[in-house]
Chains A and B, each alone.
Chain A
Amino acid sequence: MDFQRDSIRSLSNYETYLVVKQIHETNNERENGKRGKKGQNRTLEHCNYGLNTVTYETLKYLEQTPCVEQNPNIITQFYNEIKKFDLKKNEILQILNLRPTTPVELQLIIEDSETRLTEIQSNELIDLIRTQLPPVGGSNQTNLPNETMES
């Protein structure tokens, strides 16, 4: 097995969250569906411990990060608004993943931030992050009705 070194592309936490969540859900469904069906051998055979462990733990980690509150609309809108600061792609990605809300956090992510951003600009950027990107657990109230509807 080999990988192509130039093929590596970054994935945002939100995208990873979607993939991992979907795998986790289909796994659960499959397990529920198979129970009681034609013998347990198949279930055992299909049970992939490595995949189950790593997706469960990744999901657990990502659920504590701001990405759970994001959606494609929020991300594209934020991306359009943030263009004027002339940030690198990597930096925007980290802003999305970490949602920095203080100047000291921002300055860690943005290389050379003192020369590239004025104080006014960096305050503007923080305001933008605060208003455009939802905080962790911030929209819990809006999520709850959906969950009850599904169940």
Chain B
Amino acid sequence: MFVVATLDDTVSIAPHLFNEQLSTIVAEEIDRKLANTIFQELGLCICLYDILSMGDCILLPSDANFHIKVKFRYVVFRPHIDEILVGKIRSSSKDGITVTLDFFDDILIPSTKLQHPSRFIESEQTWAWQYETDDETHDLVMDIGEEIRFRVVQEIFEDTAPKEMPNNNGSMTQTTNDDDKKVPYTIIGSISEPGLGLKSWWIETS
């Protein structure tokens, strides 16, 4: 579920930090920039793994900061497709179930990818798997907070960078509203296989 990726960047260091050790300051600057952000097409950045190399410190005219090229490895959350993950149910709605991994919340299991047949209990706002035995059907309810095992089937990256604003004010507010709804990185999960779904469903009673 986690990977390390090699990245390049130019880090700029402000003068009041010059007395600190270079590698510490560079590491801090990189973490400040990346930690807890979604890097497009890469995933959720967690923390610096190590610094591979640093170039020369460059001073530019009329700029007190110095700039340094850094090549480093970063720990990133990026489950591969078909990977099995375990999370907790965050919420349920008619559209499906959202799952949280504590540090990452944008996981959706759409209603079409639940165990078949499943039904949505309107009064309790939860999904239930209608498990059939020989003579009757049982509702296996999926409550909020339960541990759930799912398969990653799709990942969606969406660029949330602000777009060029049109001149008149009216449409400007509209674009910001649209941006609020956008999620930069969504994982689509599935539980429509034996072994998937609530962990408690599949515990062997032997």
Chain A facing B: main interface SS = helix
Q: Complex formed: what's the CA distance from A12 to B83 in Å? A: 13
**How many B residues have CB within 8 A of the partner chain?**
45
Of the listed stretches B31-39, B108-116, B127-135, B178-186, name the one at the interface; the rest are far from the partner chain: B31-39
Q: Complex formed: what's the CA distance from A90 to B2 in Å? A: 12
A10 lies within 8 A of chain B by Cβ: yes
Identify which of B46, B80, B84 contacts A58 (C-beta below 8 A).
B46
Q: Complex formed: what's the CA distance from A12 to B9 in Å? A: 26
Task: Considering the complex, give the chain A residue whose CB is closest to the CB of B76.
Answer: A8
Which residues, 1 to 27 on B, are CB-close (under 8 Å) to A?
A: 1-9
Which residues, 95 to 109 on A, are CB-close (under 8 Å) to B?
A: 97-98, 101-102, 104-105, 107-109
Question: What does the 1/0 interface line of A22-59 toward B look like (CB < 8 Å)?
Answer: 01000000000000000000000010101101110110
Q: Is the CB of A94 within 8 A of B83?
A: yes
- What residues on B are CB-neighbors of A55 within 8 Å? 35, 46-47
**How many A residues have CB within 8 A of the partner chain?**
40
29 residue pairs A–B, Cβ–Cβ below 8 Å: A1-B8, A1-B9, A4-B6, A10-B2, A11-B2, A11-B75, A15-B2, A16-B46, A19-B47, A19-B49, A20-B46, A48-B28, A50-B35, A51-B31, A51-B47, A54-B36, A54-B103, A55-B47, A61-B101, A61-B102, A90-B80, A94-B84, A101-B204, A102-B202, A104-B202, A105-B149, A105-B202, A108-B149, A108-B196
